[in-house]
Amino acid sequence: MGKYSFRILFILLITNLLCINVKAQETLTLTLDQALEIALSESNTIKIADKTVEKSGYAQKGSYSALYPNVSVSGSYQRTLLKQVMVMDMGGQAMEIKVGRDNNINTSASASMPLVNAQLWESLKLSALDVEMAVEQARSSKVSMVSQVKQAFYGVLLAKASLDVVSEMYKNAQANYEKTLQRYQVGKASELEKLRAEVNVKNAEPNVSSSENAVLLATWQLKAVMGLDLATEIDVVGDIMDYTNELLTPYVSEDDISNNSSLLQLDIQDRMLESTLRMQRKQYLPSLAATINFNYNAMGDDKLSWFPSSVAAVSLNIPVFDGFQKHYNIKQSKVAKDMLSLQREDAERQIRIAIRNYNDRIALCVKNYTAASSTVSIAQKSYEISQKMYEVGKTTLVELNDAQLALQQAQLTQAQAVYDFMVAKAALNELIGKE
């Protein structure tokens, strides 16, 4: 090999190493806390919720503008193209007189503000409740986002755990095939056993591919929930079995619904309807407003003459009769309030049923994990014994495969129990509004 060829190979080798290093640096490795932090800062759902709170805050501030004086300035200019003619009888003779000036300028400034308006003051309280509703909805979005990220994160861990189990079973199938092939070559195993061992390897390959695809799909789901670009390479830290201690910790059933976001929002809606009802009742009360107006007018043909004028007034508005419109509006609000009360009662009942369901599922997951753990120990020991007995020819490949399948199912059941426990707990925390 020439000197230049060696240099080219050396450059290509360095380039490949750099590409591998860059690719490795692009992979974002995340813990659960880091995933939650990114989701709460990058998710469009959270951003929209924060914008809604900001928008409601501005709306509340804007509602207070009704308490301040409303000041306006206006001006106008008119040029008379053809003056109006008036005919008057002067001593028996008709006299024509042109009325008006060529130039007319009018400027005015006015200010008005309410002095007594009970309906307006009550509407300001309603605006404050709008802000409170937006804040609670934003909190609900964050609680829901935390639950979704946790469940997606646990899904990735479960998919990786399943891949580990399937990959281990694939390695065992390959090892068993090699042993069977060696025994077949020396005449200690039949061709049927060799074919069965080969079929087991072939059957295990699609399971590995499916598990790898499941990991990919679960990772995409996590990225989508977090608000990350799907092209971003991420990896998660940990194993689903790391949460075993949390599962084995004595669990106290949750039944506090005071922070449930749905009920809190219904309570705010009830207060809003109550405020609306008070506002409608106060429409029967008189309102008092003050206004002041200043005008500056000018008229003339060649030379303008300016004439100022000013007026201040207080106006009292007393509602007398409106065809029973206010009366029926109040009736509608009362009915809406009763409907909301019934809706909240049904919602609370459904929430308590859901909480009971989640607590039962959590207790069942603990039982399933305990049973699966015992099964894994037995299945592992059974598989190891079957392997040794198969090596010395005291058992068949079918029995070895049965032991391997039992071990695989027990390991998957154990991981599934931990996953179901953590998912149920995350969903329960979301339901009770736990942050």
Structural contact between residues 162 and 228, judged by C-beta atoms closer than 8 angstroms: no
Does the predicted TM-score (pTM) go above 0.85?
no
Residues 178, 184: Cα–Cα separation, whole Å: 10
Q: 227: phi > 0 → left, psi -120 to 50 → alpha, else beta; which?
A: left
Structural contact between residues 358 and 432, judged by C-beta atoms closer than 8 angstroms: no
**198 or 293: which leads in pLDDT:** 293
User: Burial level of 326, CB count in 10 A (0-12/13-18/19+)?
Assistant: middle
Residues 402, 383: Cα–Cα separation, whole Å: 9
Structural contact between residues 429 and 145, judged by C-beta atoms closer than 8 angstroms: no
Phi, psi of 434 (to 5 degrees): -80, 130
15: number of CA atoms within 13 Å, CB side?
Answer: 6
Q: What is the pLDDT of residues 328-360, one digit of tens each?
A: 999 999 999 999 999 999 999 999 999 999 999
**Nearest Cα to Cα of residue 234 among 335, 140, 326, 153:** 153
Give the C-alpha distances (Å, rounded to integers) separating 394 from 188, 266, 335, 378: 11, 70, 81, 20
**Nearest Cα to Cα of residue 355 among 420, 431, 251:** 431
Residues 397, 309: Cα–Cα separation, whole Å: 112
Q: What is the mean pLDDT of the chain?
A: 87
3-state secondary structure of 307: strand
Q: What is the pLDDT of residue 20?
A: 45
Q: Does domain 23-79+115-290+324-431 bear CATH number 1.20.1600.10?
A: yes
Task: Show me where the domains of the chain are located.
Answer: 23-79+115-290+324-431
**Nearest Cα to Cα of residue 67 among 119, 121, 126:** 121
Strand pairing partners for 226? none
Task: Spell out the residues 6+ positions from residue 137 whose beta carbon is closer than 8 angstroms to its own.
Answer: 49, 52, 261, 265
**DSSP state, 135?**
H
Structural contact between residues 240 and 369, judged by C-beta atoms closer than 8 angstroms: no
**Nearest Cα to Cα of residue 256 among 134, 145, 359:** 359
Sign of the dihedral defined by the CA atoms of residues 227, 246, 409, 354, in that order: negative
Q: What is the pLDDT of residues 93-145, one digit of tens each?
A: 778 787 778 889 999 999 999 988 888 888 888 888 999 999 999 999 999 99
Residue 188 confidence (pLDDT) above 90: no
Q: What is the pLDDT of residues 19-43, one digit of tens each?
A: 444 444 478 899 999 999 999 888 8
